């Protein structure tokens, strides 16, 4: 192991940074609104990059706005990287993503204070637009970083408010000049990647387990449907003569629930966004736009859910006499993390006297993109009540300590490998 077994992070310092970051874009109830590339995101980035520089990290910003703070090692070469994201959904909590970045900075501070050099460099990354709530797909920054999405395509992405990624990056001053999305940043660029994150689900808390050794991330399928019918009078139009976009949207939402219930297992399905036009009580809607989020740990099962929904939508368009156009917003197959990394997380947790279980991730994470170019893994800590993407998201301080201490020693181990 590291030879520094007694070394521990400073919990108060870590909580202090988490708290300060949570003040940026703070919303009622203790939550945070820092949608990607907004003014609040810029303010959060400014705070974090300032901390990186204070810690002596060499900060670089790439063309999709990913921020990487590098701590040199005794040897040249690819760094061992940790990190996550600091963008949030509109009604986000203060831990999702932020914990991974703040814990990475705390690891650096702890090593600096103890005068510990590592063989290989260490890096702390803040990836752009992990949430995908404003601009799809999610994990956009890490996807471009590993060469999985052309930079130009990412920059041209139009968000839910009509803004584009490229314009917003430039506007907030985070369109950097470090290369990304090119072969130059592939395999040799990162030696290994580990990310500490809150579970965002109920499993660890329910089982009274402190650490999740994450084995992989489930597949994600995001589709937007635009439905066009005919507006008419709500009182005078016989039911048999309607081409009701609102009804069709509701039917799709109900079908998504039905598919998940019928398939069972790990299948989940969500209609999270829905708009109607003209959205008036006495007018049959002529247009509806809605999003469908389908996920499953099994790729074949996920495809089956997609097939069922597509068949339903086609039949619905026919029977209601509406036009329905589908637009794919994101599609990622399930990802398995490096088995050696999963075993390392598990063994290190046991060594530190923590209860640990292996588990899949229900949420998407930057680690699943980094897994394309290097051995990658994740550490989960419990989320109270399994609540996330909600201002009430909460993780107990002792769990944060356990996760950050584990991250510290995992990074030491990997950077001295």
Using CB under 5 A as the binding rule, whether residue 201 contacts Mn ion is answered as no
Which partner from the list Mn ion, ligand GLV, none does 364 bind, CB cut-off 5 to 8 Å by kind? Answer: ligand GLV
Write down the least CB distance from residue 49 to ligand GLV, Å.
22
DSSP letters of 221-270?
Answer: EEEEEEEE---EETTTS-GGG---HHHHHHHHHHHHHHHHHHH-TT-EEE
Write down the least CB distance from residue 86 to ligand GLV, Å.
13
Torsions phi, psi for 330 (to 5 deg): -160, 145
Using CB under 5 A as the binding rule, whether residue 212 contacts Mn ion is answered as no
How many other C-beta atoms lie within 10 A of the C-beta of residue 152?
11
Alpha-carbon distance 388 to 394, whole Å? Answer: 8
Using CB under 5 A as the binding rule, whether residue 293 contacts Mn ion is answered as no
Write down the least CB distance from residue 96 to Mn ion, Å.
4
Compare residues 140 and 349 and give the one whose CB is closer to ligand GLV.
140
Which partner from the list Mn ion, ligand GLV, none does 138 bind, CB cut-off 5 to 8 Å by kind? Answer: ligand GLV
Using CB under 5 A as the binding rule, whether residue 362 contacts Mn ion is answered as no
Using CB under 6 A as the binding rule, whether residue 363 contacts ligand GLV is answered as yes
The partner residues of 60 in beta bridges, in order of sequence, read: 68
Q: What angle do CA 292, 313, 277 make, to 5 degrees?
A: 70
Write down the least CB distance from residue 95 to ligand GLV, Å.
13
Q: Is the peptide bond before 96 cis (omega within 30 degrees of 0)?
A: no
Compare residues 194 and 369 and give the one whose CB is closer to ligand GLV.
369
For the segment 93-132, give every residue that binds ligand GLV (CB under 6 A): 130-132
Torsion sign (Cα): 46, 370, 346, 57: negative
Residues 200, 386 contacting (CB under 8 angstroms): yes
Write down the least CB distance from residue 139 to ligand GLV, Å.
7
Any residues with CB less than 8 A from the CB of 297 and at least 6 apart, and which?
216, 218, 219, 266, 334, 360
Torsions phi, psi for 139 (to 5 deg): 55, 30
For the segment 81-140, give every residue that binds Mn ion (CB under 5 A): 96-97
* Interhelix angle 11-22/98-114, nearest 10 degrees: 140
Compare residues 198 and 324 and give the one whose CB is closer to ligand GLV.
198
Using CB under 6 A as the binding rule, whether residue 199 contacts ligand GLV is answered as no
Compare residues 106 and 130 and give the one whose CB is closer to ligand GLV.
130
Q: Is 376 left (phi over 0), alpha (psi -120 to 50) or beta?
A: beta
Using CB under 5 A as the binding rule, whether residue 285 contacts Mn ion is answered as no
Which partner from the list ligand GLV, Mn ion, none does 87 bind, CB cut-off 5 to 8 Å by kind? Answer: none
Q: Which residues bind ligand GLV (CB under 6 A)?
A: 130-132, 138, 363-364
Q: Which residues bind Mn ion (CB under 5 A)?
A: 96-97
């Amino acid at each position: 192991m590291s030879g520094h077994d007694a070394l521990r992070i400073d919990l108060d310092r870590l909580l202090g940074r988490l708290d300060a970051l949570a003040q940026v874009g703070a919303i009622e109830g203790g939550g945070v609104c820092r949608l990607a590339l907004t003014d609040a995101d810029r303010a959060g980035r400014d705070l974090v990059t300032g901390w990186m520089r204070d810690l002596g990290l060499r900060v670089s910003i790439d063309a999709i706005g990913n921020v990487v703070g590098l701590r040199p090692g005794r040897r040249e070469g690819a760094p061992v990287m940790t990190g996550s994201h600091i963008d949030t959904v509109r009604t986000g909590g203060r831990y999702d993503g932020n914990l991974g970045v703040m814990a990475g900075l705390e690891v650096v501070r702890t090593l600096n204070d103890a005068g510990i050099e590592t063989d290989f460099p260490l890096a702390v990354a803040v990836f752009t637009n992990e949430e995908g709530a404003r601009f799809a797909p999610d994990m956009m920054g890490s996807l471009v970083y590993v060469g999985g999405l052309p930079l130009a395509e990412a920059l041209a992405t139009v968000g839910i408010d009509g803004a584009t990624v490229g314009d917003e990056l430039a506007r907030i001053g985070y369109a950097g000049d470090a290369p990304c999305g090119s072969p130059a940043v592939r395999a040799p660029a990162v030696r290994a990647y580990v990310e500490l994150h809150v579970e965002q689900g109920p499993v660890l808390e329910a089982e009274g387990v402190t650490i999740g050794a994450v084995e992989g991330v489930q597949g994600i399928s995001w589709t937007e449907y635009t439905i066009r019918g005919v507006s008419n009078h709500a009182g005078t139009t016989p039911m048999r003569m309607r081409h009701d976009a609102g009804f069709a949207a509701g039917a799709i939402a109900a079908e998504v629930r039905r598919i998940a219930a019928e398939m069972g297992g790990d299948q989940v399905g969500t209609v999270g966004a829905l708009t109607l036009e003209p959205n008036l009580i006495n007018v049959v809607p002529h247009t509806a736009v809605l999003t469908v989020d389908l996920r499953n740990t099994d790729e074949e099962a996920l495809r089956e859910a997609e097939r069922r929904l597509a068949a339903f939508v086609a039949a619905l368009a026919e029977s209601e006499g509406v036009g329905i156009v589908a637009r794919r917003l994101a599609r990622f197959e399930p990802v398995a993390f490096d088995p050696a990394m999963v075993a390392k997380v598990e063994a290190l947790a046991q060594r530190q006297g923590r209860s640990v279980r292996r588990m899949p991730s229900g949420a998407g994470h930057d680690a699943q993109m980094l897994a394309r170019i290097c051995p990658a893994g994740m550490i989960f800590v419990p989320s109270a009540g399994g609540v996330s993407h909600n201002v009430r998201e909460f993780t107990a301080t002792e769990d944060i300590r356990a996760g950050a201490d584990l991250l510290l020693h995992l990074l030491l181990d990997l950077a001295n490998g």
